[in-house]
């Protein structure tokens, strides 16, 4: 997520980002582990030097507790990333 954000954000015509996510029903992202992707975007916009390790540690620590970071981080790292087809460029 950070790599893709930085790539798109480095282009001269990009001035920000928006995220569209379903917040209702079974497909909702907020309140589930996939919310880490939203956290990664937020943190990348705030700090262009933030690392994936920092994102994992911050998100997991806040949502599951500091003691859970090592084990939960291993589980998070073993999941599939959002596919590149989920990002699209909009030209105006």
- pLDDT given at position 60: 95
Give the global pTM: 0.74
Q: What percent of the chain clears pLDDT 90, i.e. is strictly above it?
A: 38
Tokens of 30: 């907020």
23-64 tens-digit pLDDT: 676 767 788 888 898 899 999 999 989 999 999 999 999 999
Residue 32 counted as domain residue: yes
Residue 92 counted as domain residue: no
Number of domains in the chain: 1
Residue 6 counted as domain residue: yes
């Amino acid at each position: 997520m950070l790599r893709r954000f930085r790539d798109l954000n480095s282009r001269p015509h990009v001035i920000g980002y928006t995220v569209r996510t379903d917040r209702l029903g079974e497909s909702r992202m907020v309140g589930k582990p996939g919310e880490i992707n939203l956290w990664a975007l937020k943190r990348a916009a705030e700090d262009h030097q933030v690392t994936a390790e920092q994102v994992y540690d911050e998100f997991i620590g806040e949502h599951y507790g500091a003691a859970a970071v090592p084990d939960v981080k291993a589980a998070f790292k073993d999941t599939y990333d959002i596919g590149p087809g989920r990002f699209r460029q909009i030209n105006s």
